[in-house]
Chain A
Amino acid sequence: MNDFFMNSAFAGVALSLISYYIGMELKKKFKIGLFNPLLVAIVLTILVLLAADVDYDVYNAGAKYLSWLLTPATVCLAIPLYEQFELLKANWKAVIAGIVSGVITSLLTVFVLSFLMDLSHQEYVTLLPKSITTAIGMGISEELGGHVTITVAVIIITGVIGNIFAETICKIFTIKEPIAQGLAIGTAAHAVGTAKAMEIGEIEGAMSSLSIAVAGILTVIGASVFAQFL
């Protein structure tokens, strides 16, 4: 299988798409949060690769073209943001206050829990940028002397958890305003969460997109301050 995968340009992309499609069908059939298409796709793909004894690098030689599309796709998040600009202007106070408080909460949560669990400075700074988009988070972790590979893994896990539980958490905290939902999802679970916010609605998606950029940039400043604390 490794040989075929190595010579195939489409095996990685096809496997990812099929797994995601199965995830979507499962979600349609059984309306359970666990059948989150992204989670199903990741788990199924890993299982297939393990069963067929295909290395990740071999899979990723083809699948990387999907990741490659992430930059143009993120650029396009400006479109819903532009479409909702009037709403953004009318609610700028709620937007700023929401994202700022979310960023502080993220850093504070990591600090308090790291302190309680007696983590080392390196482990602490590795986890500090966990709520924001991968590219910014990696940069912060590297600059503060963290373990970049772990930071990336934790960022992705955060996104997937946020994507799966976004609706449940909003329900528990009775967050009903679409703007507030979007800000909450984007600030807590960056682009992976935003994919979910887009499914919930256009306003949610736009606000979530905005949060990725603002929360990311605020965390650059916030993390360097919080890094001094432990």
Chain B
Amino acid sequence: MKVLKQFLIIIGISLVGEALNYLIPLPVPASIYGMVLLFVLLLTGVLKLDAVRTAGKFLIEIMPVMFVPAGVGLMVSWGVLQPMLIPVSIITVVAVITVMGVTGRVSQFIIRRGKRGEKQS
């Protein structure tokens, strides 16, 4: 019964996310509204962590598998993708490297500067 209740809460929040996506004319998906909502509910103590934890951790653990159908869908979009294949490949590979590199280095720089500051003071 415990996990059932947890799953019910998670689905309920997803449903509210869907409603927000329907009502607010922004390209923000239901999942992001739901994530922010669950975060706020946990933060304000309206929901205790134990109320969603077991079912939530299970869903997160099996999450990678949920991307398989979308990936297999490339089989169908291959036709439209093909004429743009070379620019798409170059941009995709380069951008993954630049974005990961810049984001990581910038945040690491600030974290380490903060740590040094703490030590000095």
Contact = CB atoms under 8 A, between A and B. Distances in A.
Interface of A: 12, 16-17, 19-20, 37-38, 41-42, 45-46, 49-50, 56, 59-60, 63-64, 66-67, 69-83, 85, 91, 93-95, 97-99, 101-102, 105-106, 109-110, 113-114, 117, 119, 123, 127, 130-131, 133-136, 138-140, 142-143, 147, 149-150, 152-154, 156-163, 165-166, 169-170, 172-173, 175-177, 179-181, 183-185, 187-189, 191-192, 194-196, 198, 205, 209, 211-213, 216-217, 220
A135 B111 CA distance: 31
A72 B14 contact: yes
> Which A-B residue pairs are the 7 nearest by beta carbons?
A139-B27, A98-B107, A135-B29, A102-B103, A184-B104, A175-B104, A42-B71
Contacts of B77: 149-150, 152-153
Interface in B49-86: 49, 52-53, 55-57, 59-77, 80-81, 84
A123 B80 CA distance: 12
A184 B101 contact: yes
A80 B43 contact: no
Nearest to B63: A73
Given A76-B52, A76-B59, A217-B32, A188 B100 contact: yes
Contacts of A101: 102-103, 106
Given A76-B38, A78-B36, A139-B27, A173 B104 contact: yes
A125 B102 CA distance: 22
A155 to B, nearest CB: 9
A178 to B, nearest CB: 10
B110 interface: yes
Chain A interface SS verdict (over half)? helix
A85 B62 CA distance: 23
Contacts of B29: 71, 133, 135-136, 139
Contact of A113 (B75, B90, B97): B90
B92 interface: yes
A198 B93 CA distance: 22
Given A76-B59, A79-B52, A183 B103 contact: yes
